[in-house]
Amino acid sequence: MNLENKAYNSAVIVGTMRLGVWGVKMNTNELERFIDECVEMGATDFDHADIYGFYTEEEEFGAVLKRRKDLRSKIKNTTKCGIKLICDNRSDHKIKSYDSSKKHILSSAEQSLKYLGVEALDILLLHRPDYLMDPHAVAEAFEELKSKGKVKQFGVSNFSPSQFDLLHSFTPLVTNQVEISVLHRNAFQDGTLDQCIKKGIQPSAWSPFGGGALFSSSEDENILAIKKVVNELAEKHECKFDQLLMAWLKKHPSDIVPVLGTTKASRIQDAINSKSIKLSQEEWYEIWQAAIGTEVA
């Protein structure tokens, strides 16, 4: 695929949501070691959001970057804004809501820069579609941040094709981060990935393994059917179960980049190594057929 504005440098994106209080609660030393391991294996794209850890994850990650200034030039930071959570760290928020106003975008970006301790954010995404979004205001905010050298590129997350089209017509976007997995296939059918190919942008996929449902015991017939086919193909290709699922995503011509929520460097290495697995057209459709429960029309 010929990408006009390639959003990501590495084959996978390291998600940071579960590194802090929303997950394994890594301390600064553990987080530094994890980042180093990721960089050494070529996983240099990291995905944040202002809300992660109830507004604490960016600052914890930034503590490593302030200690290890050499890492700043080695990694690429994407962060997100636009969701307002109710928590002790944001006592002025009365309800959970969305805010894509110019004021909120600018203040969120400044806060992320401060917490991460970097001079510029590589990519800033609007985290969720705001039903009251004024594309003029968003474009103004993005232009101001870019002109001041505070954000290099912009994108969105969880936007429908029409919502993406609307904002992209006012300001250039380089990615749409949406949920994509064998269990969540909307992007293949609702025009999201078609749009990415048409516009030459790179989609990123959160929850690429279906939120872990395929790795736990289940009596669900749909999940059992998928597991059976994936295990058979994994044995055929002499790879791990999760690597086969990764190869299935990467088969799509839109060049989907998965956001991995794992806190284990070995799982990230496995995902990177999956690039050598080449599924045939029919093998890809074997998994699709198992997922939908019937043959294609």
Residue-by-residue pLDDT tens, the chain, 297 positions: 555 558 999 999 999 999 999 999 999 999 999 999 999 999 999 999 999 999 999 999 999 999 999 999 999 999 999 999 999 999 999 999 999 999 999 999 999 999 999 999 999 999 999 999 999 999 999 999 999 999 999 999 999 999 999 999 999 999 999 999 999 999 999 999 999 999 999 999 999 999 888 998 888 899 999 999 999 999 999 999 999 999 999 999 999 999 999 999 999 999 999 999 999 999 999 999 999 999 999
151 contacts 113 by C-beta, under 8 angstroms? no
Question: Which tokens hold the place of 210?
Answer: 């279906």
Tokens of 63: 């503590």
Catalytic (active site) residue 8: no
For the chain, state the CA radius of gyration: 19
**Model-level pTM?**
0.95
- 93: buried, middle or exposed (CB in 10 Å: 19+, 13-18, 0-12)? middle
Which residue among 52, 98, 115, 131 is the active-site one? 52
